[in-house]
Structure 1
């Protein structure tokens, strides 16, 4: 079915049909209605491939994250998809597993012929890798791996957010505040920033950080939190509060505490980070830091759009999204 067939059915020129299909405003209402009726009767569908060839755009962007099955990235991806849909874009989601070679494939444009732009949350790749990338596809970074890099970047203030979480615990009278989630990898930007906020909050309250209350983890999964929490309970220095660097580890910590008969929050208060949906339904429900995932996604999509349509020639931009502390039962009980 072509524009010619629609034009013949509506009794107008092919140019008029094209104007209606492309949303041009200068078409008389009666004519637009007649053309639209013909389009509906003939079940006309525009040739998107031809349109994309003319505009040299595909209407596709990519979102590359370390773990698709991570609740945080799954929820973030949903917001990216919604923000992209508002611009008529489709999102392709890729998983890198945080591996350097897979991240390099993403950055070097193995799919650049398919996509107009990329939103990328790296773990293994840093500023040097970004500076040497061979592809010129527009890119926006998420996460804590690279700041002040060569492309636009959206993140929250992780130091301030971690400090807020620990200050909440200290404000409840807790003094032996443990931390779960430090990492030894050089690329562990998230862990480094949250550990810094943890230490700053303690020192601001005249408490010297105690390394015996800090647990390192290889990853940020539920099992990591459960193992670390059990190790803390076995250490002989029982904490009265725990700040977990993400909600999944906090859920694992809650499980370990329950198995040992430790009451939350009576004996040990627990705070997480990310505000994933699971934490709202855990027993007890989880106090957490809530990054504004919708704002992160919408700002990333807006920045990408500015690069693609040429309306933003400045930058690169460092954009800080908001966060808030959400207080639930794991720190204040059922009141």
Structure 2
């Protein structure tokens, strides 16, 4: 049965319940008490028939909620404070409000996905991609509702926006090369964002006649990065300079290097992509390459509203403002051996 043709009675018949119960479930009636198995059976029928409640269908045609969903990985990551602030300001100036969502939760709970997309709870979605395998599922969501996917590689059928990650990694790597480092490693993670940054790191080394070292898979969290760098150093890692994929990861790298007994920057220099509030308060303070996070927040909202008005596809790279190196105390010439 087609998505447009499904009726409430069709869902009720398939789920073997009354149409009234179906209506209360799909409209999230807070007073409803129903067995979990029954609720799931109804939602499976909704999914199978691609049913859209009549009220939601009318909303799709004639009105808007004034809400934009913002699906982020690691919503509490301090890196994204500027991005979220600028997105909220841009949305307010355009007459919208922003609702923060967990990308992992959105994909982990199919009922949340159905309620959000088919229930027309938001007019559009800003979706953070480029970090992990679940991104494929998020990109499927982006094809069901007006969306702007940021941090992703260019993807057919989607409107995407990203920063110039490779340029940021080139700047960080060249800074260490200019200081005299020849053994420079990249501490990265899974996903397209890290791949682009590793590419920039490798390009900078190649331009200086140096070869890249195997990537240290530190992940996007401070805890995993600390454990991985400690393991690498214990195994005899000889890098004198580290380019780290994000400042949150660099927080863990910084702690792991010091815990191993090495000194920063006397033994190992550390340079991070992204600046955030804690970077200058570490001891020693963290050298970073600053990217325009505030710009991507406001640009994402503007592009999303364009998507709501008229759907398009294609990629935008924010590269007009070059990455800016902020040298602090964590980078210096390599040790003399």
TM, length-normalised to structure 1: 0.71
The answer to whether the 8 Å contact 1:121/1:143 transfers is: yes
* Alignment match, 2:228: 228
Stretches of structure 2 that go unaligned for 5 or more consecutive residues are 1-58
Q: What is the deviation of 1:174?
A: 0.8
Range that drifts further, 83-92 or 120-129: 120-129
Is the counterpart of residue 119 in structure 1 residue 117 in structure 2?
Answer: no
Inter-CA distance 53–160: structure 2 relative to 1 (3 Å threshold) = closer
Stretches of structure 1 that go unaligned for 5 or more consecutive residues are 1-51
* Alignment match, 1:285: 285
Is the counterpart of residue 64 in structure 1 residue 71 in structure 2?
Answer: yes
**Within 5 A, what are the aligned runs for 1:21-170?**
56-97=63-104, 100-101=107-108, 106=113, 109-110=116-117, 112-122=119-129, 123-124=132-133, 130=139, 135=144, 137-144=145-152, 146-170=153-177
Range that drifts further, 321-330 or 238-247: 321-330
Taking the aligned partners of 1:276 and 1:324, their CA distance within structure 2 comes to 13
Inter-CA distance 103–166: structure 2 relative to 1 (3 Å threshold) = farther
Taking the aligned partners of 2:61 and 2:108, their CA distance within structure 1 comes to 34
* Alignment match, 2:56: none
The answer to whether the 8 Å contact 1:130/1:150 transfers is: no
* Alignment match, 1:320: 318
Q: What is the deviation of 1:113?
A: 1.6
Inter-CA distance 226–99: structure 2 relative to 1 (3 Å threshold) = farther
Taking the aligned partners of 2:136 and 2:252, their CA distance within structure 1 comes to 33
Taking the aligned partners of 2:61 and 2:142, their CA distance within structure 1 comes to 28
Range that drifts further, 258-267 or 279-288: 258-267
Which of 192, 202, 210 is the aligned partner of 1:189?
Answer: 192
Deviations 1:148-194 (A, max 9, x none): 432321111212221111111111001111221244xxxx1122112
* Alignment match, 1:25: none
Q: What is the deviation of 1:254?
A: 1.3
Q: What is the deviation of 1:332?
A: 4.3
Q: Please state whether the residue corresponding to 2:186 is helix, strand or coil.
A: strand
Q: Please state whether the residue corresponding to 1:330 is helix, strand or coil.
A: coil
Q: Please state whether the residue corresponding to 1:163 is helix, strand or coil.
A: helix
Q: What is the deviation of 1:53?
A: 10
Inter-CA distance 97–129: structure 2 relative to 1 (3 Å threshold) = closer
Is the counterpart of residue 210 in structure 1 residue 235 in structure 2?
Answer: no
Q: What is the deviation of 1:90?
A: 0.8
Inter-CA distance 128–254: structure 2 relative to 1 (3 Å threshold) = closer
The answer to whether the 8 Å contact 2:197/2:245 transfers is: yes
Q: What is the deviation of 1:128?
A: 8.9
Structure whose alpha-carbon radius of gyration is higher: 1
Inter-CA distance 279–263: structure 2 relative to 1 (3 Å threshold) = same
Range that drifts further, 293-302 or 124-133: 124-133
Deviations 1:176-220 (A, max 9, x none): 11221244xxxx112211222222211211112233xx3123x31
Taking the aligned partners of 2:270 and 2:72, their CA distance within structure 1 comes to 27
Deviations 1:84-136 (A, max 9, x none): 1111211111002388545996599536522111111134356797468662x
Tell me the matched-pair count: 271
Q: What is the deviation of 1:280?
A: 2.3
